[in-house]
Amino acid sequence: MVRAPNHVAHPRRPPAPPTRAAHPRRPPAPPTRAAQPRRPTASPNRVAQPRRPTAPPNRAAQPRRPTAPPARGCARRPPSRAPAGAPHTSGHVQDVDECAVRTAPTHAPRAPHPPPAYRRGVTDAVFPPGFFDRADPSPDTDFYGPPRLVTHIDDRAIAAVGALYAELGLDGEVLDLCSSWISHFTTPPRRLVGLGMNEAELAANPLLAAHVVHDLNTDPSLPFDDGSFDDATCCVSVDYLVEPVAVLREVARVLRPGGRFVVTFSNRCFPTKAIRGWLASDDETHLQIVNAFFALSEGFGQVTGALRTPPGTPGDPLYAVWAAAL
């Protein structure tokens, strides 16, 4: 197995933060469950089918750049700094050694899909300007054009992902967002559907029953019906999303009520494609950032965040943030 030769390390020192502090300006408000009207619940027998064929986004309109050389890999980020005085956001993120599984909230009402402009406004009010910018703003279809049949985290971190999926019992119909050739389940779920950027990587994934190539940064909507999945996952990829709150809102839509969305990440990334706010912040802040994405989406209940590898040990750390759809 090839170990991420192209996953360029995070620079030893994070790049200069955006002109304003790279963390939420104020704590995200918890989802206002009581105020949200309930959305119709999907038929439990519905199969997760792509709603429409996936087309390469805006190919004609966007000039194609030469393919990025695949050897610009993920660099390891500096070790997590102590969150000196950085409070956890609104108490939503648990202590980093918290490993408890949260049960799905009893069914609070689901919110209707909001107008995108409103959503963007809420996100902009929380994160500083430039937070979602990237060093390489060219179409993701260029960067992710060449298949990368590599692993992006070490074996221990991969095992931690699989162990969490098993602990949470992700065994039904599962959507793997930002998927590639490997999905880290120790026991395959009943039906796994992958969404990612590279057809060859997805086709090589032995666990996927179906897959779709779809650029979430040009279209954060998911090509699936409401309530199509029992659970969803996104491994070491949330830092590449320029509209993560819109994507999480969509994940909540395609999940059945109570379905978990499990976001995992480490301290490696493709730095030119990661959002600046992520590069400029440490591991502890990443937990809070992802927590804020969940809260701002208003589609999930209580959020749990945890370091899933033993603290202070060598190797890639594996963090997870998860919550159940309302």
Ligand X SMILES: C[S@@+](CC[C@H](N)C(=O)[O-])C[C@H]1O[C@@H](n2cnc3c(N)ncnc32)[C@H](O)[C@@H]1O
Stretch that binds ligand X, among 30-38, 99-107, 233-241, 303-311 (CB under 6 A): 233-241
Stretch that binds ligand X, among 38-46, 108-116, 176-184, 318-326 (CB under 6 A): 176-184
Rule CB under 6 A: say whether 217 interacts with ligand X: yes
Rule CB under 6 A: say whether 239 interacts with ligand X: no
Rule CB under 6 A: say whether 179 interacts with ligand X: yes
**Residue number, 231 or 326, with CB nearest to ligand X:** 231
* Binding residue count for ligand X, defined by CB under 6 A: 18
Instruction: By CB under 6 A, name the one of 18, 96, 140, 256 that touches ligand X.
Output: 140
Rule CB under 6 A: say whether 193 interacts with ligand X: no
Rule CB under 6 A: say whether 235 interacts with ligand X: yes
233 closest CA partner among 265, 209, 273: 265
Rule CB under 6 A: say whether 280 interacts with ligand X: no
Transcribe 49-88 into DSSP letters: -BSS----TTTTTSPPPPPPPTT-EEEEPPPPPP-TT---
**Residue number, 181 or 300, with CB nearest to ligand X:** 181
What residues from 47 to 76 belong to the interface with ligand X (CB under 6 A)?
none
Instruction: By CB under 6 A, name the one of 222, 236, 296, 321 that touches ligand X.
Output: 236
Rule CB under 6 A: say whether 178 interacts with ligand X: yes
**Residues pairing with 271 in the sheet:** none
**Residue number, 180 or 288, with CB nearest to ligand X:** 180
- Strand, coil or helix: what is 2? coil
Instruction: By CB under 6 A, name the one of 198, 297, 302, 309 that touches ligand X.
Output: 198
Give the rounded distance of the alpha carbon of 101 from its chain centre.
19
Instruction: By CB under 6 A, name the one of 31, 168, 193, 215 that touches ligand X.
Output: 215
C-alpha R_g of the chain: 18
140, containing H or E segment: helix 140-143
90 closest CA partner among 291, 260, 283, 265: 291
Instruction: By CB under 6 A, name the one of 127, 131, 132, 144 that touches ligand X.
Output: 144
* Angle formed by the axes of helices 244-254 and 116-126, nearest 10°: 130
Stretch that binds ligand X, among 17-25, 80-88, 100-108, 193-201 (CB under 6 A): 193-201
Residue type, 307: L
**Residue number, 290 or 326, with CB nearest to ligand X:** 290
Instruction: By CB under 6 A, name the one of 80, 89, 94, 180 that touches ligand X.
Output: 180
**Residue number, 24 or 139, with CB nearest to ligand X:** 139
**Residue number, 136 or 225, with CB nearest to ligand X:** 136
131-168 as b/e: b if 16+ CB within 10 A: bbebebebbbbebbbebbebbbbbeebbbbbebbbeeb
Task: Find all residues with CB under 8 Å of 61, minimum gap 6, and list them.
Answer: none
Rule CB under 6 A: say whether 300 interacts with ligand X: no
**Residue number, 321 or 326, with CB nearest to ligand X:** 321
Give the rounded distance of the alpha carbon of 243 from its chain centre.
11
- Backbone dihedral angles phi then psi of residue 139, each to the nearest 5 degrees: -55, 135
Q: 173-177 and 208-213: which strand pairing?
A: unpaired
Enumerate helices (H) and strands (E) in the chain, giving the number of each: 7, 10
Question: In the complex, which residues of this chain contact ligand X (CB under 6 A)?
Answer: 140, 144, 152, 178-180, 182, 196-198, 201, 215-217, 235-237, 240
